[in-house]
Structure 1
Amino acid sequence: MQPLTFVNDHNIATIRGLASLATPMALRVAVTLGLPDRLRGDGAAVEQVATELTVSPVALELLLGHLATLGIVERASTGYRTTEYGATLCTDADNGLTNLLHLNMAGGRAELAFVELLHSITTGHAGYPRRYGHDFWADLADHPHLRESFDQQMTHRFREQVPRIVDGYDWARFSTIVDVGGGIGTLLAAILTAHPGVRGHLVELEPTATEANRTFGAHQLDDRARATAGSFFDPLPEGAQAYLLCDILHDWDDEHAHRILGRCVEAAQPTGRILVIEAVGGRWASTEFDLAMLVIFGGRERRIDELRALASAHGLVLDTVTDLTDQRCLLEFRLATTS
């Protein structure tokens, strides 16, 4: 029986480690306080940093002690200093981690909605409104700094994947593309740059639409691209050959996803294509991210059959599925009356 006891003890320790909130919260608090940046170089004494940040020196010592066991900081003659490994969490590392962990930025704030996961599993609805009193998008509208950090987060998420998305599909088939909810225009600008014969129109809420126009200007695309302020729940620019929804539908429950697709079909009549780029459930989507979509937005990473069924309600037929990257697929839909 001894081997079984050992295995059980090992399993218990492993699960306790997986379930512990101490480390993820310690990392988030460290980033929110700016500790990796503050302790670079020679580092600093706990008392000095505590005074600067107006925090408890005793509590800060406890936090830094745990960060030292993680290898984020190390003890030095001056107190504590950031390690090379810990520098990954510095603001100028430009890897998106600050946004995802900082409790006062869109990503870090959103992940705290996981404390409402039981509510989301019980009801099927987002936990974010239960925690903050209104949904994620209303929060961005009410707090401009959250909107700005969310736009930055989306840019970081796509930066490495944009070249593969551009190269992995025949965008030149279309003379006009409407990027629906296209953020600050990073993807659309890359598509148009690679295909001089294509024109683009991006629809996004303010102030993101203004930033998208700056993106187009920076890429010398003013003559072929423009962004207008608007919602994808309202009528969209009509008559384009393709309507692009990139990482849009997974942010919404079925009711809202139907409204978005309805607007695209309404604008695309009679021959336009609807292009959906997402992490597809059972294909590339991670189970962890699936739960994040649920608890933050009330959405999910739908499977191909679910996306097909969602689209068919609007007279759309799935033509092709293309694996663009190791994270996202492109599903091309046409109107059932279009050959």
Structure 2
Amino acid sequence: MVTDTAHQPATNGAGSAAGTPDMPGGALSTAETPPDVRMYQMLYSSIVSQLLITAAELGLPDELTGGPRPVGELASATGTHRDSLYRAMRALASTGVFTEVEPGVFGQTPLSETLCSDVNGSMRDVARYVGLPERQRAFAAVTHSVRTGEPSFEHANGAAWWEYFAERPELGTLFNRAMGTMSRRVNSEVLDTYDFTGVRHLVDVGGGQGHLAAEIAQRHPDLTAVVLDLPRVVPEAEEVVRRAGVADRVRCAGGDFLEAVPEGGDLYVISWTLHDWNDEDATRMLSNVRRAMAPDGALVVIDEVPPAGDSPHFGKFEDIVMLALLHGRIRTERELDPLFRTAGLRLDEIRDTPSPTSVLIARPE
């Protein structure tokens, strides 16, 4: 078992000129900035996020796929106010999103390109999901969560997260697309970190739209799989596996993993799901997996595992998302270990990936 002190934090591959990790606010600050000035810039860093959401909603990066364009043309194409659009794009260009190639003429950058609709790994749906007014209201009220320990989403919107999205299918679809984007982002790293060779039957617990199971099945033609998620997600998952050409080997099943999971898998996967739940429900999910798996089976959990102490890690901010929206949490290894043990599982190994996501490998006790 790796200890907290030995577990090295993954980095996001970016940083300031001084080598400090690029955490929220990092685009505007460096280690050499005086503390009061740096604090002032960090307090204003949310403006960057809001402008990115605006750019995604308006489809500005898509408008620049053919090359740089004058801001007047962009305003006409997006139905926006010319001078206001210029001011917004000028601000984003100062952070590396867009570039002002000449006065009033803007072009694409590698950062702005990630918000295009059709590029591989597009972050546009993620930006639109982050910008949902209901989600924004929850973070505006996060003080409520810090004071009470209860999700500010329910406090601000009058309904719990899952109930709210279940009653609004269009928002649920956007959420699933955004999570699918993030799943695809980490899939290749996970597949490079864990060898699925020899797996006969995989069960993806809370597998969402089925991107991970579909990619694993593509790489391993002898493997069969089941993707388990809520019944309303099943049609979206079926479409994903159909497009991937593996519908004959990947079945999509509706169900509740807090009640039971399909039996017969020699490998179970929980990807970006365990952190959504409090300790009691997370243990219940793990226990259901343990009951369903064979004595020689294994469980792979894909999640963020931040280090203890002051070491920077994106998971420490993702944990605040859990605090505001749900009853879950991002857990350190020390917090994860008792959950696995209570469920009858032994957490054997944690493997870092180039992103903040880690691969946890557990087996029956």
Shorter-chain TM range is: 0.7 to 0.9
Superposed, which structure 2 residues align to 1:251-330 within 5 Å?
A: 251-268=276-293, 270-282=295-307, 285-330=314-359
Give ranges in structure 1 of 5+ residues lacking alignment.
1-6
Per-residue deviation, 1:46: 9.6
Per-residue deviation, 1:202: 0.8
Distance 1:137 1:183 in 2: 14
Distance 1:9 1:235 in 2: 53
CA contact (8 A) 2:207 2:228 kept: yes
Which stretch shifts more, 177-186 or 287-296?
287-296
**One-letter amino acid of the counterpart of residue 324, structure 2:** V
- 2:107 maps to what in 1? 83
CA contact (8 A) 1:281 1:303 kept: yes
Question: TM-score, length-normalised on structure 2?
Answer: 0.75
1:82/1:255 Cα in 2 relative to 1: closer, same or farther (>3 Å)?
A: farther
Per-residue deviation, 1:196: 2.6
CA contact (8 A) 1:242 1:273 kept: yes
Give ranges in structure 2 of 5+ residues lacking alignment.
1-30
Per-residue deviation, 1:297: 2.3
Kindly provide the CA deviation profile for residues 288-317 of structure 1, in whole angstroms up to 9, marking residues without a partner as x.
Answer: 222223222232221112111111112222
- 2:91 maps to what in 1? 69
CA contact (8 A) 2:193 2:359 kept: no
Superposed, which structure 2 residues align to 1:149-160 within 5 Å?
A: 149-160=174-185
1:144/1:28 Cα in 2 relative to 1: closer, same or farther (>3 Å)?
A: same
Structure with the bigger percentage of helix: 1
Matched, 1:241 2:266: yes
CA contact (8 A) 2:205 2:270 kept: yes
1:329/1:49 Cα in 2 relative to 1: closer, same or farther (>3 Å)?
A: closer
SS of aligned partner of 2:89:
helix
Distance 2:261 2:277 in 1: 18
Question: TM-score, length-normalised on structure 1?
Answer: 0.80
- 1:12 maps to what in 2? 36
Kindly provide the CA deviation profile for residues 155-208 of structure 1, in whole angstroms up to 9, marking residues without a partner as x.
Answer: 322334322322322323432111011122111122122223321111112443
Answer 1 or 2: higher relative contact order, Cα 8 Å, separation at least 6. Answer: 2
**One-letter amino acid of the counterpart of residue 351, structure 2:** T
Distance 1:75 1:172 in 2: 49
1:82/1:213 Cα in 2 relative to 1: closer, same or farther (>3 Å)?
A: same
**Runs of 4+ that moved beyond 6 A:** none
SS of aligned partner of 2:35:
helix
1:34/1:216 Cα in 2 relative to 1: closer, same or farther (>3 Å)?
A: closer
Kindly provide the CA deviation profile for residues 94-128 of structure 1, in whole angstroms up to 9, marking residues without a partner as x.
Answer: 554322333xxx33223552212212222223222
CA contact (8 A) 2:210 2:240 kept: yes
Distance 1:101 1:44 in 2: 24
**One-letter amino acid of the counterpart of residue 107, structure 2:** T
**One-letter amino acid of the counterpart of residue 217, structure 1:** R
- How many equivalent residue pairs? 319
- 2:141 maps to what in 1? 116
CA contact (8 A) 1:161 1:325 kept: no
- 2:172 maps to what in 1? 147
1:163/1:47 Cα in 2 relative to 1: closer, same or farther (>3 Å)?
A: closer
Larger radius of gyration: 1
1:74/1:333 Cα in 2 relative to 1: closer, same or farther (>3 Å)?
A: closer
SS of aligned partner of 1:166:
helix
CA contact (8 A) 1:111 1:296 kept: no
Q: Percent identity?
A: 27
Distance 1:264 1:317 in 2: 13
Per-residue deviation, 1:228: 0.9
- Over the residues paired in the alignment, what is the CA RMSD in angstroms? 3.2
